[in-house]
Copies of this chain bind each other. A is one copy, B any other.
Amino acid sequence: MSLPTPASAASQRRPRVLLFDVFGTLVDWRRSVARAAAAALQAHGLSDEAQALAFADAWRAQYQPSMQAVRSGALPFCKLDVLHRHNLERVLADWGLLAQVDEPTRAALTLAWHRLDAWPDVAEGLAELRRRCLLAPCSNGNLSLMANLARHNGWHWDAILGAEWARDYKPQPVVYQAAVQAFDVLPGEAMMVAAHSSDLAAAAACGLRTAFIARPDEHGPGTGESRPSGPVDLVATSLVDMARQLASWPA
C-alpha cells in the first residue's frame, strides 16, 4: 500500500488558468505587517520584534471572523481594506492603544497590507508559470490591494479576480466559480494554488484542480502546513518547483 499521492501527472493536462491564494501562499504577511506595525507604533512601545509579531498575529486573528459576517449575510460585502481597518481598531483597543493612535496612523497602517513582501521564489515562479498559463489572484484581498502588491513585488497578472470580483469571501463557492467564469474556462481547466488545504478543498468542491505550495513558516518557523491534509493534483515546495512540474504536463 502506498502513501496518498497526487494524481498521476501523466493523466493530467496542463491547466489553462492558474488562480492564486495570496496571503501566506505568495506573501509573508506576518513579518511584513509586524515590521509596519513596529514602525508605526514604536512611540507606543511596539518596538520589539516579538511584540510586533504578536500584534500582526492578533490583527490576523480577526480576519476570518470579520469575513464570516459577510459570508453569513450579516454584513453587506465590503472591501477587505474596510475589514482590516475595523479589525485594527479592535486590536488597538485590546492592546490599550486606541486613544493613542490617531486617524492618519490608523489609515496608513491599514495600507501595510498593500506592501507585503513576497516569499523569495514568487516573482521568478510567476514569470515562469505565465509562459504557459493565464494567471490571476483569487484572494480575499480587494483589487487595489492586489494591484499594489503586484507593483510592490514585480508581478504580472492577466487579471485580478477573487473576493471583490465575486462580492463574497472565500471559501464561498461563488468566489472560485466567478473566477473560472471570468476566464471562459471550465472548472477543470483551472487550478487553484494555495498553501492552505481548506482553500484547496473548497476549490476542488467547485471542480477546480488544485496545487499545494508548502509554506511551513507562515505563522512563524514550522507553524504552517508542510503538506496538504487532503488530496490535491500537485504538491510543490515553491512556485519555481511548481512551474518545473507543470512544464512536463501536456498542454
Tell me the smallest distance from the CB of A126 to a CB of chain B, in Å.
13
Interface string of A146-175 (1 = CB under 8 A from B): 110011000011111000110000000000
Contact B182 A159 (CB under 8 A): no
How many copies the complex holds: the figure is: 2
Residues of B within 8 A of A81 (CB): 184
Residues of B within 8 A of A165 (CB): 165
CB-nearest residue of chain B to A185: B144
Tell me the smallest distance from the CB of A193 to a CB of chain B, in Å.
18
Interface string of A26-50 (1 = CB under 8 A from B): 0000000000000000000000000
Interface string of A177-220 (1 = CB under 8 A from B): 00000111000000000000000000000000000000000000
Q: How many residues of A contact B (CB 8 A)?
A: 19
Tell me the smallest distance from the CB of A165 to a CB of chain B, in Å.
7
CB-nearest residue of chain B to A179: B143
With A81-B184, A165-B165 in contact, do A147 and B158 touch (Cβ < 8 Å)? Answer: yes
Tell me the smallest distance from the CB of A188 to a CB of chain B, in Å.
17
The reply to whether the CB of A134 lies closer than 8 angstroms to some CB of chain B is yes
Residues of B within 8 A of A157 (CB): 159
A147 to B165, CA, bound (A): 15
Tell me the smallest distance from the CB of A182 to a CB of chain B, in Å.
5
A72 to B134, CA, bound (A): 34
Tell me the smallest distance from the CB of A204 to a CB of chain B, in Å.
23
A81 to B183, CA, bound (A): 12
Tell me the smallest distance from the CB of A33 to a CB of chain B, in Å.
19
Q: Which of B150, B164, B182, B184 contacts A158 (CB 8 A)?
A: B150
Contact B159 A146 (CB under 8 A): yes
Q: Which of B150, B151, B164, B182 contacts A182 (CB 8 A)?
A: B164
CB-nearest residue of chain B to A135: B147
Contact A147 B160 (CB under 8 A): no
Residues of B within 8 A of A184 (CB): 81, 144
A146 to B158, CA, bound (A): 9
Which has the most chain B C-beta neighbours within 10 Å: A156, A157, A160, A165?
A: A160
Q: Which of B134, B147, B156, B159 contacts A183 (CB 8 A)?
A: B147
Given A146-B159, A157-B159, 9 further pairs, Cβ under 8 A: A81-B184, A134-B151, A144-B184, A147-B159, A150-B158, A151-B158, A156-B156, A159-B159, A159-B160
